[in-house]
Amino acid sequence: MVSGPPVGRVLGTADATPLSFWVAVEPGAYLQLDDVVVTRRQLPDREPVTIAGVVTAVRARHEGAMFESDVFAIADGTLPAQVQEAAEITTTRVDPELYVPPTPGAPVHRAAGEVRAKALYFDRMEQPVPLGVGRDGSPVYLNFEFLNGQRGAHVSISGVSGVATKTSFATFLLYSVFRSGVLGAEAANTKALVFNVKGEDLLFLDHPNARLTESTVDDYATLGLTAEPFPDVAVYAPPRAGDPSGTPDVSSRLAGVDSFYWTLEEFCAERLLPYVFADADDERQQYTMVVHGVTAHLAKTAAPADGGVTIDGTRIGSYADLVDFVVAQLGDEDSRAFWVGSAVGLGTVNAFARRLIASKRDLARLIRGDLPTGRPHSVNTAESAQVTIVDLHNLPDRAQRFVVGVTLKTEFERKEKAGTAKPLLFVVLDELNKYAPREGSSPIKEILLDIAERGRSLGVVLIGAQQTASEVERRIVANSAIRVVGRLDPAEAGRPEYGFLPPAQRARALIAKPGTMFVNQPELPVPLVVEFPFPAWATRPAEAGPAPRATLRSLTQAADAFAVVGARPAGASLSDDDIPF
């Protein structure tokens, strides 16, 4: 349907084409950017053609004025002139597909209801995911087929840090996917892996937002969603430095957090040493040959020994001891040839040793030989909650890279072994430009490229966020079917990576307020501007409402921690008698 009388007529003084045209706005009416309009072209011996589009530019001018100073005479009434507004329309849909220009003078209506849905291809979306509301207050949807791998996958979110609300939009997108019904029977098995890199803001996704208002609840209802926190969340944090008990290093969340780490045995057997050198690699450096040689030797010779490992008869109980042992072996000419071969020069070995020694301070609390090997300590989304949060904010840069690289490697290999795209795994990673920079190479970058290029077939969907898409590996951005932009820096907005934005939208992105995003999806030639609702879950410790009631799953996990005293076998089901309330 259309809303009331025409808002304007197709302009006859500017060229009208099948892909764009101008509309003269009726006196007393208006058109704003992002309005959806529709007009109709009559054809001889054919059914009428409906042409729909989105307003991408609006202008107003005095007709009858010749000089800039005429505006004062016109305002005083001494010079006759008329104010005329006009809007540029970018065509989104032609039905039937007869690409003819609209007729000058044809009435143009503001689209609503089914007409609006057709204009924006919502009627063709078998699995629509609510994204927010448009400028007209009506819902805007994303075609899930371009997210779940059927016709495309991956999301790239760009914008200024702290203003563009990139992480908030990423979590809202996850919530909408999980709660809108598009997953069907797969909803219970679909998982999300979220890396928290800034503060402890994402550790409370399962807590209601104390700032939630009735207006926000209504906003969710408009989108067909309920305003609730994520119901099933697991939080992992690194152990505190120097703490022999492995207590998670978090300060604001006191319950429901497990620590993650890797044993020395796992570090050697699973060949994790390359992820210690996960910085963007300088191709002129040769020490990567040493990395691979040492990695292979550790995997071959390291044997488990009471939480640590034994290598060539030497008992090693900590990461620092392992580093010192490797450096000593490489420093000896005879053993160096046994570890990495005789062709590697001393300068190359020293370059490797310097970097390895520098990693002791950063990785000592993550690679352990003093904690129980049988204690659960691994991040495994298949055996975890629907949303798994891995907290990195207290780790230095090298340690963050190590955790991201090893975790993604483990999850991607698990999906490869499963050999099926379902259930889906969504990976939310902020600061993507740090892990997959445009220049250089690293183990993490190779994994992210693998996810971007093959993840669609394996059901791994990357939701990457970054301040500057121009600094992210091109192949990752190119493989993102959905591109989202929030507030942009002026210098960044001029980059070719944002060429999908019309000039007016690119200019608007410089002043976009928090919560406003420009979403580009393949079916539509024009990005849609959406405002997503305020998060119903806590986005920082100060917003966290009362903690949710403990679930049976969390109680079982808690009981596992006490299974060592023999009260109950670890992993056994809880009975009603085990629940203390």
3 falls within a domain: no
pLDDT of residue 72: 94
Does 383 have pLDDT greater than 90? Answer: no
Q: What average pLDDT score do residues 187-204 get?
A: 92
Rounded Cα–Cα distance for residues 555 and 231 (Å) = 15
207 falls within a domain: yes
For the chain, the domain total comes to 4
Write the CA distances from 294 to 337, 367, 445, 508, integer angstroms. 11, 17, 21, 53
Q: DSSP letter for 261, please.
A: -
Task: Give the closest residue to 121 by CA, choosing from 531, 499, 526, 544.
Answer: 526
Boundary-marking domain end, from 76, 91, 120: 120
The whole-model pTM stands at: 0.88
Count of Cβ atoms closer than 10 Å to residue 226 Cβ: 11
Contact assessment for residue 375 and residue 245, using Cβ atoms and an 8 Å cutoff:
no
Contact assessment for residue 490 and residue 509, using Cβ atoms and an 8 Å cutoff:
no
Token output for 205: 């996704």
- My answer on whether 146 and 112 are in the same domain is no
- My answer on whether 536 and 399 are in the same domain is yes
- Measured between its terminal Cα atoms, the distance across the chain in Å is 55
Contact assessment for residue 387 and residue 230, using Cβ atoms and an 8 Å cutoff:
yes
pLDDT of residue 280: 52
- My answer on whether 518 and 571 are in the same domain is no
Span 518-563, pLDDT tens digits:
999 999 999 999 999 999 999 888 888 776 554 434 444 444 443 3
493 falls within a domain: yes
1 falls within a domain: no
Boundary-marking domain end, from 120, 141, 159: 120
- My answer on whether 451 and 532 are in the same domain is yes
* Higher pLDDT pick, 337 / 98: 98
Count of Cβ atoms closer than 10 Å to residue 92 Cβ: 23
pLDDT of residue 547: 62
- My answer on whether 252 and 135 are in the same domain is yes
Helix (H) or strand (E) segment spanning residue 41: strand 36-41
* Higher pLDDT pick, 317 / 580: 317
Does 283 have pLDDT greater than 80? Answer: no
Contact assessment for residue 508 and residue 526, using Cβ atoms and an 8 Å cutoff:
no
pLDDT of residue 552: 38
- My answer on whether 500 and 384 are in the same domain is yes
Q: To the nearest whole number, what is the mean pLDDT of the chain?
A: 88
- My answer on whether 271 and 289 are in the same domain is yes
Minimum mean pLDDT range among 41-45, 64-68, 163-167, 512-516 = 163-167
pLDDT of residue 568: 37
Span 438-495, pLDDT tens digits:
888 888 999 999 999 999 999 999 999 999 999 999 999 999 999 999 999 999 999 9
Does 289 have pLDDT greater than 90? Answer: no
- My answer on whether 397 and 529 are in the same domain is yes
2 falls within a domain: no
pLDDT of residue 566: 37
* Higher pLDDT pick, 5 / 54: 54
SS3 state at 79: coil
Rounded Cα–Cα distance for residues 511 and 501 (Å) = 14
Q: What average pLDDT score do residues 28-32 get?
A: 94
Boundary-marking domain end, from 71, 98, 120: 120
- My answer on whether 425 and 303 are in the same domain is no
Residues in the chain: 581
Contact assessment for residue 439 and residue 205, using Cβ atoms and an 8 Å cutoff:
no
Span 129-184, pLDDT tens digits:
999 999 999 999 999 999 999 999 999 999 998 776 899 999 999 999 999 999 99
Does 128 have pLDDT greater than 50? Answer: yes
Task: Give the closest residue to 276 by CA, choosing from 344, 356, 388.
Answer: 356
Minimum mean pLDDT range among 239-253, 403-417, 540-554 = 540-554
Query: What percentage of the chain reaches a pLDDT higher than 90?
Result: 69
Write the CA distances from 483 to 176, 180, 521, 522, integer angstroms. 17, 21, 7, 9
Amino acid at 427: V
Q: Which residue(s) pair with 89 in the sheet? A: 21, 55
228 falls within a domain: yes
- My answer on whether 142 and 190 are in the same domain is yes
Q: DSSP letter for 578, please.
A: G
Contact assessment for residue 140 and residue 41, using Cβ atoms and an 8 Å cutoff:
no
Does 247 have pLDDT greater than 80? Answer: yes
Contact assessment for residue 260 and residue 237, using Cβ atoms and an 8 Å cutoff:
yes
87 falls within a domain: yes
Rounded Cα–Cα distance for residues 262 and 377 (Å) = 7
287 falls within a domain: yes
Contact assessment for residue 61 and residue 84, using Cβ atoms and an 8 Å cutoff:
yes
Q: Which residue(s) pair with 139 in the sheet? A: 133
Rounded Cα–Cα distance for residues 229 and 534 (Å) = 12
- My answer on whether 295 and 420 are in the same domain is no
Phi, psi of 493 (to 5 degrees): -60, -25
Query: What is the residue range of 325's domain?
Result: 262-372
- My answer on whether 396 and 528 are in the same domain is yes
Token output for 181: 């019904």
